[in-house]
Amino acid sequence: MQKYIHSRGWMRSSTEIAIEIISDFVNGFLSKCVETSEKLIPTRFNDKMPRNSGVPIVLTASMIEMSDFKLNPFIAFSGGFPLSIPKFVLRKKLYPNFHINEDGTAKYAPYGLRKVETLLIKEFGEENVATVHPHNLHEFVGPKTKVIGISTMDPLGIGFVSRTYTSILRLNGKPATLVEFEDLLSNVAFRKYKPRIIVGGSGAWQIPRAKMQDMLGIDTVLIGQAERSVVEIFRKALDGEELDKVIITQMPKRKEVPTIKKPSLYGTVEITRGCGRGCAFCSPTMRQRYSFPLEHILREVKLNAKNGTRAILLQTDDLFLYKTKRNFIPNREAIVKLIQSVDKIEGVEFIQIAHASLAPIVNDRRIVEEIAPALVEKSLWACNGKHCASIEVGIETGSVQLMKKHMKGKMLPYTPEKWQDVVVQAIGTLNDNDIYPLATLVLGLPREQEEDILATLELLEKLKNAKIFYVPLLFTSEEESILKGQRHKDLKDLDESQWDIISRCWRHNLDLWAPELNKIILYGTLLTSPYYRWKHGRKIVKPIMEFSGLEKRFVNRRLGIECQPQCCTSSFYVENKNKNS
């Protein structure tokens, strides 16, 4: 009985008790499933000596980061969600890896790891460096192995996406990225042969920030770009010299960045590095900006295409920074030539651009008009049966005040006061050319006030008919950003207006991208609403009503409107159905 008495002494309500019993049962059952299933999985590790007693330098990443998610880089973000499904099921269905070379090395690997591999092979010889999937580590780690290099993007599941949606879903359990990262570091071969473990990558900052380096058994964490510093660090490790626990690497010059020699996951090819627009919450703005020569880019595209990646992911913090002119004026000729050149390469079935800014689209819409045909034709995406391209853009806020405070260069060559107009016009141009962007919004930026939140809601209203996939995110202070000293925004700190933004965004996503799920979402929300009401408090009630579609139904009934298809599903779905009939 003691667990059912509140900490202040009074008895908790029967509803609270019932919800906790159900929650404990479900989480206990799922945990038991995980334990049982893992016992049934035969281990891939044994006491046999690895080939040639091991390789001196072995490079790898966790299971989840060595998968291409069946060529869907956006689904990779689901790795930040709590692991409430047995690991072997996720490995088989969500992030499988079938790409192993005949010699046991990984056929495809994260792009950053391939850069490091290229530099280490050049310095120490190909016979002394191996990039390996975690399943095959036992074949390469042995008495001769001195260093394990691990690349990671989100080791602890506390990046923007992971932290936000783990908090909202409030499911018990560790994020899948953390589970897989811990699984990698607990590898039997590591414990047996005790090589030095060096971890780097864009998410490496999370480890010292969370003070988990010793617990995870990591010798050295590298923070920053690798190209200038990594060879010297690995040389010292091979020679047994002492290394600092955390090393801030030096910023490389463009000529120090090599072309990869082996294919990358998603067919990733970097076209620009750095940004310079000055968004205070973003790490790329701290890096020196440069564009890679077209010949450099095409060599990597051809390498990937020749080795069967099928897709090419053009990695950039902003497509329109490619060979940009002064004051962030986009270089139409260079961008169009780049896309057309990639499009012509044999073996390229799909082209995906990572990120783009919105202001350059307004400045020169002809760029979008000229590159859209190739992007749409070689796109992986469809919306309600209509083929379309997509690209990630940052809306972040509708507030002029926050733009001035944290994103002074984001709207250049326009002024902060024009931001909402820039967003609406740019999204319109993208939609006109069958590009339906994925757009991020950041909630809880430092000094965000009620009027800033209302400005964002106003912008969402202006975009209510736009074809967008929204991803609202909680502010996260990344180590390499200007705001690294600020406190993360926690879900418990959100007010009703901020919850309104989240619910509006996801209601829009469902109506546009998956209207056929409306009934499932409705019934699912009704079943889970007591749980989320208990977890998040009364302020979650209205967002749940809006997200589920109940609010719209109640309004229609009060107005005497019968439940027509356009009310029960989505106007986007009905319009599309009418066009196709």
**pLDDT tens by residue, the chain, 581 residues:** 334 334 333 344 444 444 454 445 444 544 444 444 333 333 333 445 566 789 999 999 998 899 887 777 666 666 555 555 666 666 776 777 778 899 999 999 999 999 999 999 999 999 999 999 999 999 999 999 999 999 999 898 887 777 777 766 655 567 778 888 999 999 999 999 999 999 999 999 999 999 999 999 999 999 999 999 999 999 999 999 999 999 999 999 999 999 999 999 999 999 999 887 878 777 766 677 889 999 999 999 999 999 999 999 999 999 999 999 988 899 999 999 999 999 999 999 999 999 999 999 999 999 999 999 999 999 989 898 899 999 999 999 999 999 999 988 899 999 999 999 999 999 999 999 999 999 999 998 888 999 999 999 999 999 999 999 999 998 877 666 677 767 767 777 788 889 899 989 999 998 898 888 877 877 777 777 776 676 677 777 777 777 776 666 554 555 555 544 444 443 333 344 444 44
pLDDT of residue 335: 98
H or E segment and range at residue 474: strand 469-474
CB atoms within 10 A of CB 516: 11
3-state secondary structure of 292: coil
Phi, psi dihedrals of residue 114, rounded to the nearest 5°: -65, -35
Q: In the chain, where are the structural domains located? A: 2-40, 51-254, 264-477
Phi, psi dihedrals of residue 197, rounded to the nearest 5°: -115, 120
3-state secondary structure of 122: helix
pLDDT of residue 76: 64
Instruction: Yes or no: say if 110 and 61 are a contact pair by the CB < 8 Å rule.
Output: yes
- In whole angstroms, give the CA distance from residue 138 to residue 44: 8
Instruction: Yes or no: say if 206 and 155 are a contact pair by the CB < 8 Å rule.
Output: yes
- In whole angstroms, give the CA distance from residue 84 to residue 390: 30
| Strand bridging mode 220-223 / 246-248 | parallel
| CATH topology assigned to domain 51-254 | Rossmann fold (3.40.50)
pLDDT of residue 69: 77
pLDDT of residue 75: 66
Instruction: Yes or no: say if 345 and 307 are a contact pair by the CB < 8 Å rule.
Output: no
Domain 264-477 indexed as CATH 3.80.30.20: yes
